[in-house]
Amino acid sequence: MKSAARKPSQSRPSVARAESGGGPVSRVSVEVLRELQALQGTGDQILDALVPRARLRQLAAGARLLKRGEPNLLVYVVISGRLRVELDGGSPPLAYINRGETVGELSLLAGSTATASVAAEEPTQLLVLDEETFWWLAESSHEFSVGLLVRLAKRLRSNNDAVQENITLRRQFEQAALSDALTGFRNRRWFDQTLPRIVQRHLHASEPLCLAIMDIDHFKRVNDNFGHAAGDAVLMQVGRLVRNNLRPTDFAARIGGEEFALILPQTLLPGAISAIERLREAIAGTAFDHDGRRLPQVTVSLGLVALERGANPEQLLAQADVALYAAKQSGRNRTEWPRRHAHPEKAKQTPPRRAGTKSAGSRRRR
């Protein structure tokens, strides 16, 4: 049952008060009302009764009609011109309100503040309905009520589409923020966020896990002698070889200029050694070129470690860094892992700080 405030006090509505801050006030004709999409199908008797109650309002281009977060109890019908809907000043318009369409009904129906700001895209003339007139019209005209429901349904569907589009865009932005644009691998940010979860999952399930840090040997010489475009070509080709030689369940991330992290889930050390050595040999056996020029032979060095009970991600990464340093010290183009040699003290040396990266002992999750 509707409240008394929503019902007309007389059989013929009285003249509405002009809204605060409104422009020049004048009456509208039945002929103009009949042409408006929002009032199509409404009988002339109802339109004639609406004339003394409805008001006209003029908006100059750029003038604000509604402000997000402020109360609104008026419904506006565009007679001429165009309105734009936006969240904040200066933001791209969310939608446009054209001739014959309405705005303001959502906040009136919900008894809430405006959910968006509305301004005139160009000089605009509006039909203004106050709350009492709006409810009188909804009760008096079945056609107006049905048209209102149809418009609201379309607007809600449009809002749902916009929400879904925003979700898709957000996922794309998140994907871009965690990916390396050159190789298509995950980046250092992803690695620092994800490695602790992978380590924790494998420790909890008592499953084997191996981690390898791979560095392209003498990569600076390629950049210095052939240019950075050639260096990029080497990185992309190495990336393709990594993809071709690892399992779909393995992870690869570019964590530095020429440094990659390779995560091998559910893999014991012997199996990881076979996989990593197969990758190293594939890279060493590939001819690299750029722009028609043959590049020097590209090789990689790798430090490989297996997750042990009680280890944490920082320790695992530090151990892989130590093993990588041992591979570099042993002549490059090789893979090293703890306890490979009879004299493990060599593998326990602390690697020097590499340009652009943290030392093995200072790597931390970000």
pLDDT digits (tens, 9 = 90+) for 54-66: 889 999 999 999 9
For residues 54 and 56, give the distance between their C-alpha atoms in angstroms, rounded to a whole number. 7
Other beta carbons within 10 angstroms of residue 233's beta carbon come to: 19
User: For residue 3, what are the CA distances in angstroms to 98, 172, 185?
Assistant: 32, 48, 62
Strand ordering across the sheet containing 124-130: 55-59, 124-130, 74-80, 102-103
Please give the CATH topology (third level) of the domain spanning 4-168: Jelly Rolls (2.60.120)
Residue 314 in this model has a pLDDT that exceeds 80: yes
Annotate 188-229 with DSSP letters as a single string: HHHHHHHHHHHHHHHHHHT--EEEEEEEETTHHHHHHHH-HH
Backbone angles phi, psi at 83, to 5 degrees: -110, 155
For residues 316 and 324, give the distance between their C-alpha atoms in angstroms, rounded to a whole number. 12
138-195 pLDDT tens trace = 888 888 888 788 777 776 665 555 556 666 666 666 666 788 889 989 999 999 999 9
User: Which residues lie across from 261 on neighbouring strands?
Assistant: 213, 253
User: For residue 213, what are the CA distances in angstroms to 136, 254, 256, 272, 300?
Assistant: 74, 10, 10, 12, 10
- If one compares 159 and 68, the residue with the highest pLDDT of the two is 68
Residue 47 in this model has a pLDDT that exceeds 70: yes
For residues 278 and 253, give the distance between their C-alpha atoms in angstroms, rounded to a whole number. 18
Q: Which residue in the block uniquely carries the two structure tokens 């503040």?
A: 113
The mean-pLDDT minimum among 19-33, 112-126, 136-150, 299-313 falls in 19-33
Give the pLDDT score at 161: 55
What is the chain's length? 366
Mean pLDDT score, 39-50: 87
Q: Which of 121, 132, 258, 259 is catalytic?
A: 258
Q: Which residue in the block uniquely carries the two structure tokens 């379309």?
A: 154
Residue 19 in this model has a pLDDT that exceeds 80: no
Enter the tokens of residue 53.
Answer: 């109650």
Q: How far is CA 58 from the centre of its chain?
A: 39
Enter the tokens of residue 193.
Answer: 């966020």
Q: In CATH terms, are 4-168 and 188-362 the same topology? A: no
**Active site (annotated) includes residue 207:** no
Give the pLDDT score at 15: 32
Give the pLDDT score at 237: 96
In the chain, what are the domain boundaries? 4-168, 188-362
Buried b (16+ CB within 10 A) or exposed e, 183-218: bebbbbebbbebbeebbeebbeeeebbbbbbbbbbe
The mean-pLDDT minimum among 62-71, 272-281, 342-351 falls in 342-351
* Coil, helix or strand at residue 15: coil
The percent of residues in the chain predicted with pLDDT above 70, rounded, is 78
User: Which residues lie across from 129 on neighbouring strands?
Assistant: 75
Give the pLDDT score at 164: 66
Residue 312 in this model has a pLDDT that exceeds 80: yes
- If one compares 156 and 53, the residue with the highest pLDDT of the two is 53
Residue 282 in this model has a pLDDT that exceeds 90: yes
Other beta carbons within 10 angstroms of residue 329's beta carbon come to: 14
- If one compares 267 and 88, the residue with the highest pLDDT of the two is 267
For residues 220 and 226, give the distance between their C-alpha atoms in angstroms, rounded to a whole number. 10
- If one compares 2 and 233, the residue with the highest pLDDT of the two is 233
Whether pTM exceeds 0.95: no
Strand pairing class (74-80; 209-216): unpaired
For residues 19 and 27, give the distance between their C-alpha atoms in angstroms, rounded to a whole number. 14
Residue pair 42/144 in contact (Cβ under 8 Å)? The answer is: yes
Residue 300, Cβ density class (10 Å: 0-12 exposed, 13-18 middle, ≥19 buried): buried
The mean-pLDDT minimum among 261-275, 327-341, 342-356 falls in 342-356
Residue pair 103/29 in contact (Cβ under 8 Å)? The answer is: no
Enter the tokens of residue 362.
Answer: 């200072």
196-251 pLDDT tens trace = 999 999 999 999 999 999 999 999 999 999 999 999 999 999 999 999 999 999 99
For residues 314 and 131, give the distance between their C-alpha atoms in angstroms, rounded to a whole number. 64
76-132 pLDDT tens trace = 999 999 999 887 656 688 888 899 888 888 888 888 888 889 999 999 999 999 999
The highest-level CATH class for domain 188-362 is alpha beta
Give the pLDDT score at 16: 33
Give the pLDDT score at 32: 84
Q: How many CA atoms lie within 13 A of 246 on its CB side?
A: 26
* Coil, helix or strand at residue 96: strand
* Coil, helix or strand at residue 84: strand
Q: Which of 209, 214, 199 is nearest to 336 (CA)?
A: 214
